[in-house]
Chain A
Amino acid sequence: MMRWGIDGENPDRLYTVTGGRSRAEGADLDLVTLIVSEVSPAPGMQSEHAKILRICRNPTAVVEVASVLGLPVGVVKILLSDLLHEGRVSARHPSARGGAQTSDAELLKKVLVGLKNL
């Protein structure tokens, strides 16, 4: 039995939106990866792509893009990977665990200060 639990969503539409793909190739996108538009929407662009470019004029997390578009996160990641490949958006990944720039302890300290100042 096929069970598409997406309320009120038409699976055919999701299939069309992603060109039949079910996963994002090559793009390692986290829910909180921030996406920023590098170009403005152009005529003839797929409408979802154009919407993403509008939403991401300010840096916007993948999960927020999904929420605003009303599409599942997995589908949105596929759309975003297209735009990334074309250079129309850029991605700012969350501080890599053990990454070079900021140690975990430093990052956590900053978060702690931020929370206390709320």
Chain B
Amino acid sequence: MEGVKIVIVGGFGVGKTTMVRSVSEIRPLNTEETMTQASVGVDQNAGVANKAMTTVAFDFGRISLNEHMVLYLFGAPGQERFRFLWDRLFAGTIGAVVLVDMRRVEDSWHAIDLLESRGTPFIVARNNFIAPRYGLADVREALTLSEEVPLIDCDARDRESSKQVLIALVSHAHALSSARGAMS
């Protein structure tokens, strides 16, 4: 048995928990991570007292892929103040789905920046609770997203749609990994 993970990152109310719920075999569980003192130095709130501790809750779900492999899905808040959590969630992840809606595009910028600088494979999925007013090309422009990053539409409430998002991410990660293998 081994565990693998995918992170779904996005702003408040964009549908992370909904997506985790729609594809997971368990009701999404919730837990907390505490920011250690070591992280305090790099936190934006440099003025806080040394011993201050922040905790942040996050959701996760589980999918048994086969008898040897369990996939964990993590929903991570997208605002930059949660950066300390991203480092832990993104470590060793297969890749990330950046879930966006057009109301708060700026909530995704920092996450996209960080994923790019870490070299973590990611795709962007636009969650359409309501019919989109803009084309995907507009979304790509608003996010200043490079052409290599897949951008797709989805409905996080729908199991099949959410599954397709995960498949798109893993396909992308696999293509990147195969390309690296071919070069080395």
Chain A residues close to B by CB (< 8 Å): 1-6, 22-23, 30-34, 59, 61, 63-64, 66-67, 72-75, 92-95, 97, 103-105, 107-112, 114-118
Contacts and interface: CB of A to CB of B under 8 A. Distances in A.
B53 interface: yes
Given A30-B91, A74-B36, A94-B92, A111 B31 contact: no
Given A6-B55, A67-B60, A114-B65, 16 more contacts: A2-B51, A5-B56, A30-B3, A31-B74, A34-B70, A92-B3, A95-B4, A103-B177, A104-B177, A107-B94, A110-B65, A111-B170, A112-B170, A114-B66, A115-B65, A115-B170
B94 A92 contact: no
A33 B2 CA distance: 8
A108 B65 contact: no
Interface residues of B, number: 47
B113 interface: no
Contacts of B34: 6, 72-75
Interface of B: 1-5, 23, 29-34, 36-37, 49, 51-56, 60, 62-63, 65-66, 69-72, 74, 88-89, 91-92, 94, 163, 166-167, 170-171, 173-174, 177-178, 180-181
B170 to A, nearest CB: 5
A116 B168 CA distance: 11
Q: Which 6 A-B pairs have the closest CB atoms?
A: A114-B65, A32-B3, A108-B174, A5-B55, A67-B29, A67-B31
A63 B72 contact: yes
A95 B51 CA distance: 35
Contacts of B1: 34, 59, 92
Given A30-B91, A32-B72, A73-B33, A108 B177 contact: yes
Given A5-B55, A92-B2, A111-B94, A64 B29 contact: yes
A66 B34 CA distance: 12
B131 to A, nearest CB: 27
Contacts of B71: 111, 114-115
5 contacts: A3-B54, A4-B53, A63-B60, A67-B29, A107-B94
